[in-house]
Amino acid sequence: MKTIRFAIPMTLAALALSGAASFADTGIMTGKSAIGEVLTDSKGMTLYTFDKDSGGASACYDKCAANWPPLLAPADAKADDDFGMIKRTDGTMQWTYYGKPLYLWKKDAAAGDVTGDGMNGVWHAAKPTK
């Protein structure tokens, strides 16, 4: 069973995430969006998965990573239940959800935005499993 603690919104944009919950110490949260509940970073920005990732590795580097920044884990991060980490080619660690690397979309402007969902048919807002 996952332990969820409720986070206090810190900005007006975060108010859109009423009922936001954080998964232990990952900094990953759930929030509401126009497409329902999604995973977010600690600022309430929607997280995404990429269909071209495979084998527990990221396929998003260079220009791709400039547009879809990987959700990096701090050096002292520890995996927690459904959340793990992969090592990127530059040695940084990236959060994963059920083995899928997590990313942000540079064109999302505010907490709860999901403008990257469905992009090019290969990017999808990460949704919590029930």
pLDDT in tens, 17-70: 334 545 656 889 999 999 999 999 999 999 999 999 999 899 999 999 999 999
- The answer to whether the CB of 68 falls within 8 A of the CB of 60 is yes
Amino acid identity of residue 47, one-letter, is L
pTM, 2 dp: 0.82
CB neighbourhood size of 129 (10 A): 7
Residue with tokens 């907490």: 111
Distance CA 102, CA 125 (A): 9
- Report which secondary-structure segment, H or E, holds 86: strand 83-87
**Phi, then psi, of 16 in degrees rounded to 5:** -65, -15
Q: Find the mean pLDDT for residues 6-27.
A: 45
Domain ranges in the chain?
Answer: 4-125
Q: Find the mean pLDDT for residues 102-127.
A: 98
pLDDT value at position 23?
Answer: 61
